[in-house]
Amino acid sequence: MSAMHEIPGGGQSLLTVEHLTMRFGGLIAVDDVSFQAADRRITAIIGPNGAGKTTVFNCLTGFYAPTVGRLTLHGRGGDFYLERLEGFRTAQQAGVARTFQNIRLFPRMSVLENLIVAQHNKLMRASGYTVLGLLGFTTYRMAEADAVDKARYWLDRVNLTDKADWEAGNLSYGDQRRLEIIRAMCIDPVLLCLDEPAAGLNPRESAQLNQLIKFIRDEHKIGVLLIEHDMSVVMGISDHVIVLDYGCLIADGTPEQVRGDPAVIRAYLGEDEKEELPAVVRQDLEQIQQAAPEQDGEAR
Amino acid sequence: MAVTATAARAGAGFSLPAMVKEAGLTALVVLGLSFYLVGFETLDVPGGVDIRTRFGDVAMAVVIAFLGRTAVFLLRVGRPRPVLLLAPPIALLILVALLSETLFGPVIGARVKLLVPFDSPVVMWAVLAVTVILAVRAAWRLSHDTQQLSDEQRDARAGAVAAQVQRALRYLGPALLVFALAMPFMPFANRQIVDIGTLVITYIMLGWGLNIVVGLAGLLDLGYVAFYAVGAYSFALLATYLDLSFWICLPFAGLMAASFGVLLGFPVLRLRGDYLAIVTLGFGEIIRIILLNWYSFTNGPDGVSGIPRPSFFGYDFTRNPAEGEASFHMLFGLEYSSMHRIVFLYYLILALALLVNFFTLRIRKLPVGRAWEALREDETACRSLGINPRNTKLTAFSIGAMFGGFAGSFFATRQGFISPESFTFIESAVILAIVVLGGFGSQIGVVVAAVILIGLPEIFRELQEFRMLAFGMAMVLIMLWRPSGLLAHRDATLRLGPVGRGGGTAR
């Protein structure tokens, strides 16, 4: 696959996934999946439980090294081959940020500190890798003030400014979700990967989340990749939907295209078993079923 | 909700069989424990060992345990009256009996003393203390109608106290510092007191050093003494082989310990929790055993002696310095006193410890320090934010080790003699206990815990073997009542809101 293909939902290609395969021993979690995600677009990855969505995320964000495949990020300053980057470098160098299905904050640090830690690499440089900061150079103090400003900007955005000095672990569930998203934004990503951001949110919070994700796409002009079960979120905000089932890509298109796709309906709603079976087996099965009532009678 | 819970608890209340069962079980446990430990005593007699039985003591221990547990049970179910009636007379009886010889003179006193079941005054004082505590609690419950606190409430209350202590530190910290500075010149400060002070501060420094690794970075290190040993031996060997002075060796010793920290850090990068603890434990032993067996270099079990004492910027603390040199007392025109060196050592370790403290407080507010704490909280999240976990862990290990090395150098120059025996696992355990008891990451907690764990046992040296018993009991109690440590409280390293109210920075 190349950038010449038109991406459903439009936009410039930001991420190209080619033949991604991930095996765990004998289990093939992701099987030869290829797709593209566009810059300044929201791409949703959906699929039933166990379809391999989170595995794709883990490959993209450096938590797994894929068995086969090329993951190219057309980021700031050239292409990054994500499958070759060591864990933390996907975030540090390529600018791929992520959130987690089960929220992973730093619970005993304050909300503000969570956001400052996210700007670690920038602050690390400003503090002269600790030496200058230890000696009290002003460059570090200014950088820290900038970092606080950025944190404040995001806190204002999600109405958490009043709770900036709370311990992150004491926030409500919905606030924790939003904090995790803005923390990911604080690393200045080019691609934001959200793993089920709406899980456990009530309808109102879910609507606020949609606003936030759209805001990130439109105002910060980055690509968003999201895994989601909540169809109102998926159909409401995504520009491009990718459907996985048993590790295989079964549909790739705009929300409208995917909604009507028979393969997707089958994956979600189940299917008539007969149609799947080979013709010979189906005939046999029908014969057996015709014979069945008599046998039942004898058995009784 | 708490009210209904306690009401239910109190209402579940009193039943005689339950009380007898509970107290009986306790008595049974005490019987099982004390039958051999207390019941038989070996005596050295001419020509061998004899056994003396002390079943009377066992019986008394069982009775006391039964009564005590009954009292605890009654207090728990909200019936303090019988306890209040019985406990004070018993306490009074014990008190009178304990003080009988001073009160009534030796003749009658000896007779009154027969009322006391145990020979050991320490045990009797402990029994007395428990009785008094029970009586006070009974009186308190009767007068205040207090609700029994749940564990969380109790923990929250202790947390609030810790936060208050943290806030008070603004004023308390300088006060403590002034006290520490003035201590050697106070009227009560004799040689022993200053020596104990030096020892306590050494452990405070070690605690602060380990706090970086365990408290901030959350890496459980059971082999911290290895770095202490590396620092001590680096200095001792450099000084004896190359004839270098303390001040030149000190940075080298720190650097050496730091590189050993990296050396330990690399293999344990992927390990967490228990596995990390086991490897660090092993590392501590490896260092000790190398020191023990590399006879040609380290002098093995014989240790290194003749380690030079520190000088005051080149002026020694000797009565009669070598020809053409001046010593400390000559420089200041003082009468020679052996206290000079002891006081100087005290200030030296105080300065080193304050350096560690200053460094820790400062680095907490730098990206590295925040990354350490973030790493303690969630390593996976750290990686997702582009923080390099390897470098972060290695800096924690090496900086913690460096301070351990400084403390080791100080130890060597203070003692003048070191051997591997000083660096056994128990030292690591004590340092870790200081950090755990004080509260992970709490600087003042380390001070309090070091005073409790090192200072008190030194002062109560007469109690001999009971020291370790008390040590163990203190640890068990802390783990039961406040597992996060006495003064565990974390202040945010920066705030968005006004700093004034409820603010306060870390120390």
pLDDT tens digits, B90-142: 888 888 877 777 777 777 777 766 666 676 677 777 788 888 888 888 888 77
- Per-residue pLDDT band for B2 (boundaries 50, 70, 90) equals very low
Asked if residue B506 belongs to a domain, the reply is no
CA-nearest residue of chain B to A132?
B366
Q: Is B307 strand, coil or helix?
A: coil
Query: How far from the centroid of its chain's Cα atoms is residue B180's Cα?
Result: 18
Classify residue B497 by burial, with Cβ atoms within 10 Å: 0-12, 13-18, 19+.
middle
Do B181 and B304 share a structural domain? yes
Secondary structure of chain A in HEC code, one letter for each residue: CCCCCCCCCCCCEEEEEEEEEEEECCEEEEEEEEEEEECCCEEEEECCCCCCHHHHHHHHCCCCCCCEEEEEEEECCEEEEHHHCCCCHHHHHHCEEECCCCCCCCCCCEHHHHHHHCCHHHHHHHCCCCHHHHCCCHHHHHHHHHHHHHHHHHHHHCCCHHHCCCEHHHCCHHHHHHHHHHHHHCCCCCEEEEECCCCCCCHHHHHHHHHHHHHHHHHHCCEEEEECCCHHHHHHHCCEEEEEECCEEEEEECHHHHHCCHHHHHHHHCCCHHHHCCHHHHHHHHHHHHHHHHHHHHHC
Do B318 and B418 share a structural domain? yes
Cα–Cα–Cα angle for B388, B393, B394, rounded to 5 degrees: 105
Do B455 and B398 share a structural domain? yes
Q: Which residues contact A131 (CB under 8 A, 6 or more apart)?
A: none
Section A33-54 average pLDDT = 88
- Per-residue pLDDT band for B466 (boundaries 50, 70, 90) equals low
CATH number at residue B248: 1.10.3470
Do A291 and A235 share a structural domain? no
Cβ proximity of B233 and B291 under 8 Å: yes
Summarize pLDDT for A142-200 with one digit per residue, the tens. 888 888 999 999 999 888 888 888 888 888 898 999 999 999 999 989 999 999 888 88
Contacts of B368 in chain A (CB under 8 A): 124, 127, 130
CA-nearest residue of chain A to B364?
A134
Contacts of A187 in chain B (CB under 8 A): 385-386
pLDDT of residue B228: 93
pLDDT of residue B463: 59
- To test the contact with chain A by mutation, choose from B360, B385, B505 the residue with the greatest count of A C-beta atoms within 10 A, namely B385
Of residues B70 and B8, the one with the higher pLDDT is B70
Asked if residue A84 belongs to a domain, the reply is yes
Do A228 and A283 share a structural domain? no
Asked if residue A159 belongs to a domain, the reply is no
Summarize pLDDT for B238-269 with one digit per residue, the tens. 988 888 888 888 899 999 999 999 988 888 87
Alpha carbon separation from B127 to A202, B20, B27, B131, B155 (Å, rounded): 58, 21, 15, 6, 27
Cβ proximity of B423 and B225 under 8 Å: yes
Do A215 and A279 share a structural domain? no
- Per-residue pLDDT band for B209 (boundaries 50, 70, 90) equals very high
ipTM score assigned to the predicted complex: 0.83
Asked if residue A155 belongs to a domain, the reply is no
Last residue of a domain, one of B114, B145, B176: B145
Section B2-28 average pLDDT = 69
Classify residue A40 by burial, with Cβ atoms within 10 Å: 0-12, 13-18, 19+.
middle
Buried b (16+ CB within 10 A) or exposed e, A89-106: bbbbbbbbbbbbeebbbb
Do A277 and A209 share a structural domain? no
Do B257 and B110 share a structural domain? no
Cα–Cα–Cα angle for B264, B424, B346, rounded to 5 degrees: 95
Asked if residue A227 belongs to a domain, the reply is yes
In this structure, chain B runs to a length of: 507
Contacts of B385 in chain A (CB under 8 A): 88, 91, 97, 117-118, 120, 183-184, 187
pLDDT of residue B288: 92
Of residues B468 and B428, the one with the higher pLDDT is B428
- Interchain pair A117, B490: CB under 8 A: no
Contacts of B379 in chain A (CB under 8 A): none
Mean pLDDT of chain B: 81
The partner residue sitting opposite A121, judged by closest CB among B386, B389, B490, is B386
Q: Is the confidence at residue B60, as pLDDT, over 80?
A: yes
B209: closest CA of chain A, how far (Å) = 17
Long-range Cβ contacts of A81-86 (<8 Å, 24+ apart): A83/A59, A86/A62
B451: closest CA of chain A, how far (Å) = 28
Do A278 and A265 share a structural domain? no
Q: Is the confidence at residue B33, as pLDDT, over 80?
A: yes
Classify residue B1 by burial, with Cβ atoms within 10 Å: 0-12, 13-18, 19+.
exposed
Q: Quote the CA–CA distance of B352 and A148 in Å, as a whole number.
A: 33
Classify residue A280 by burial, with Cβ atoms within 10 Å: 0-12, 13-18, 19+.
exposed
By DSSP bridging, strand A223-227 and strand A191-195 are: parallel
Do A91 and A193 share a structural domain? yes
Q: Quote the CA–CA distance of B317 and B444 in Å, as a whole number.
A: 33
CA-nearest residue of chain B to A135?
B362
Q: Is the confidence at residue B362, as pLDDT, over 80?
A: yes
Do A216 and A203 share a structural domain? yes
pLDDT of residue B203: 93
pLDDT of residue A298: 45
**What is the signed CA dihedral for B183, B185, B188, B191, rounded to 10 degrees?**
90
The partner residue sitting opposite B385, judged by closest CB among A63, A118, A144, is A118
Do B70 and B186 share a structural domain? no
CATH number at residue A57: 3.40.50.300
Do B182 and B123 share a structural domain? no
What residue spans of B183-224 are helical by DSSP H?
Answer: 191-211
Q: Is the confidence at residue B53, as pLDDT, over 70?
A: yes
Q: Is the confidence at residue B500, as pLDDT, over 60?
A: no
Do B176 and B35 share a structural domain? no
The partner residue sitting opposite B386, judged by closest CB among A92, A110, A152, is A92
A66: closest CA of chain B, how far (Å) = 17
Phi and psi dihedrals of A262, rounded to 5?
-60, -35
Section B479-505 average pLDDT = 67
Asked if residue B255 belongs to a domain, the reply is yes
Last residue of a domain, one of B82, B115, B145: B145
Do A284 and A238 share a structural domain? no
Identify the H or E element spanning B417.
strand B417-418
Q: Quote the CA–CA distance of B207 and B447 in Å, as a whole number.
A: 8
Q: Tokens in use for B186?
A: 């106070």
Contacts of B396 in chain A (CB under 8 A): none
Q: Which residues contact A94 (CB under 8 A, 6 or more apart)?
A: A73, A75, A80, A82, A85, A190, A191
Asked if residue B495 belongs to a domain, the reply is no
- Interchain pair A88, B363: CB under 8 A: no
Do B373 and B272 share a structural domain? yes
Q: Among positive and negative, which fits the CA dihedral B5, B8, B9, B10?
A: positive
Q: Quote the CA–CA distance of B409 and B251 in Å, as a whole number.
A: 9
Of residues B327 and B378, the one with the higher pLDDT is B378
Do A86 and A2 share a structural domain? yes
Contacts of B496 in chain A (CB under 8 A): 112, 148, 151-152, 155, 161, 164-165
Q: Is B323 strand, coil or helix?
A: coil
Section B325-348 average pLDDT = 78
- Per-residue pLDDT band for B461 (boundaries 50, 70, 90) equals low
Q: Quote the number of domains for chain B.
A: 2
pLDDT of residue B67: 87
- DSSP state letter for B304: E
Do B286 and B402 share a structural domain? yes
Q: Quote the CA–CA distance of B419 and B302 in Å, as a whole number.
A: 7
Asked if residue B160 belongs to a domain, the reply is no
Do B410 and B355 share a structural domain? yes
Chain B residues bordering chain A (beta-carbon distance below 8 Å): 359, 362-363, 366-368, 370-371, 373-374, 377-378, 380-389, 395, 490, 492-497
Asked if residue A183 belongs to a domain, the reply is no
Of residues B178 and B116, the one with the higher pLDDT is B178
Cβ proximity of A119 and A186 under 8 Å: yes
Q: Quote the CA–CA distance of A153 and A145 in Å, as a whole number.
A: 12
Q: Quote the CA–CA distance of A107 and A166 in Å, as a whole number.
A: 10
pLDDT of residue B206: 94
Q: Quote the number of domains for chain A.
A: 2
pLDDT of residue B467: 66
Cβ proximity of B235 and B246 under 8 Å: yes
Section A70-99 average pLDDT = 84
Mean pLDDT of chain A: 83
Domain that holds residue B457: 166-481
Q: What number of other Cβ atoms are within 10 A of residue B319's Cβ?
A: 11
Q: Quote the CA–CA distance of B218 and B203 in Å, as a whole number.
A: 20
- Per-residue pLDDT band for B504 (boundaries 50, 70, 90) equals very low
Do B201 and B120 share a structural domain? no
Summarize pLDDT for A267-280 with one digit per residue, the tens. 877 665 555 666 77
Alpha carbon separation from B182 to A155, B341, B368 (Å, rounded): 48, 16, 35
B359: closest CA of chain A, how far (Å) = 8
Do B251 and B289 share a structural domain? yes
- To test the contact with chain B by mutation, choose from A120, A134, A159 the residue with the greatest count of B C-beta atoms within 10 A, namely A120
Asked if residue B316 belongs to a domain, the reply is yes
- Interchain pair A62, B383: CB under 8 A: yes
Domain that holds residue A215: 1-95+188-269
Summarize pLDDT for B369-412 with one digit per residue, the tens. 999 999 999 988 998 998 988 889 999 999 999 999 999 999 99
- Interchain pair B367, A127: CB under 8 A: yes
Asked if residue A35 belongs to a domain, the reply is yes
